[in-house]
Amino acid sequence: MTAALEHQVHEEEPHLSEAAGGGPQDAVVLDGVTKRYATGTLALDGIDLRVARGEFVCFVGASGCGKSTLLNIISNLDQATSGSVSVVGHPALMFQEHALMPWLSALDNVALPMRLAGVPKGKRLERAQALLASVHLGDIADKRPHELSGGMRQRVALARTLATEAPVLLMDEPFGALDAMTRDLLHDELESVWRARGLTVLFVTHNVREAVRLADRVILLSSRPGRVVQEYRIDVPRPRRLEDPAVGQATAQITAALRKEVARHGD
């Protein structure tokens, strides 16, 4: 690792949690989280991790390493076999598929979580319009999903996720199906919303460069069973671009570690 890069990416020992629940600055605390399926397959093995409030953390690793399983456990869609999870508030989960209701307009899709929460119609529609504007879609409120591009649908899905007002946002490869240019634009949108709202974001991706572009910290998980192999603090100044040399250097460092992990698993 070059001297210049040492000031931009810091390898850290995996965080060992204290008692689950954490301190006042923790948004997510995982303590010994293990997941074994009924078939006997061990998906996650003893995950210990702290995520600070307002932190943007990306998870990378080989396919099948348990990244999505980990998000499902944090969101309470799945249960750990052992260990404990502490999360501030009720996290919101956003998937690669936008999952918009095709018969609803963009505005009504965004308003749906508030409708389910019993927010009065006038208030929820006003709030939904503001959320669409925050992702630069204020002029497509009446459009149905089939009338929108893939990137626009993902922006609507992001606005709908924000409508839950969850302090913790869990994102499972939300931009994986998009073209490179659209994905880059959505990186800007997400970073803007994250900073403006002080959200805590846990973001799963197969794209190491995307992780470096977005994250305060990148977590490398081992091949199944998933364990925290290494953590990388990304100190590249914001705003970052995918083509920035420092982003490329950090990407190369983490990719090399990922390749070693994949090769180790293959052997």
- CATH number for 245: 3.40.50.300
Q: Determine, yes or no, domain membership for 96.
A: no
Q: Domain range for residue 80?
A: 3-91+172-266
Read off the DSSP letter of residue 13.
P
Looking at residue 153, what is its pLDDT?
92
Q: Determine, yes or no, domain membership for 7.
A: yes
Six token digits for residue 9: 């990416």
Looking at residue 17, what is its pLDDT?
34
In tens, the pLDDT along 3-35 reads 333 435 666 544 433 334 456 789 999 999 999
Same-domain status, 84 and 127: no
Same-domain status, 19 and 132: no
Same-domain status, 23 and 131: no
In tens, the pLDDT along 135-174 reads 889 899 999 999 999 889 988 999 999 999 999 999 999 8
Same-domain status, 153 and 68: no
In tens, the pLDDT along 118-132 reads 999 999 999 999 999
In tens, the pLDDT along 190-216 reads 999 999 999 999 999 999 999 999 999
Q: Determine, yes or no, domain membership for 8.
A: yes
Same-domain status, 137 and 198: no
Residue 97 has pLDDT above 90, yes or no: no
Same-domain status, 230 and 208: yes
Same-domain status, 70 and 147: no
Burial class (CB in 10 A: 0-12, 13-18, 19+), 131: buried
* Cα atoms found within 13 Å of the Cα of residue 86, Cβ hemisphere only: 20
Domain final position from 165, 189, 209: 165
CA dist., res. 128 & res. 85, Å (int): 31
Q: How confident is the model at residue 261 (pLDDT cuts 50, 70, 90)?
A: confident
Q: List, in sequence order, every beta strand (DSSP E) within the chain.
A: 9-12, 26-36, 42-52, 56-60, 82-87, 92-94, 168-172, 200-204, 217-221, 228-234
Same-domain status, 70 and 110: no
Domain final position from 123, 145, 165: 165
Domain count, the chain: 2
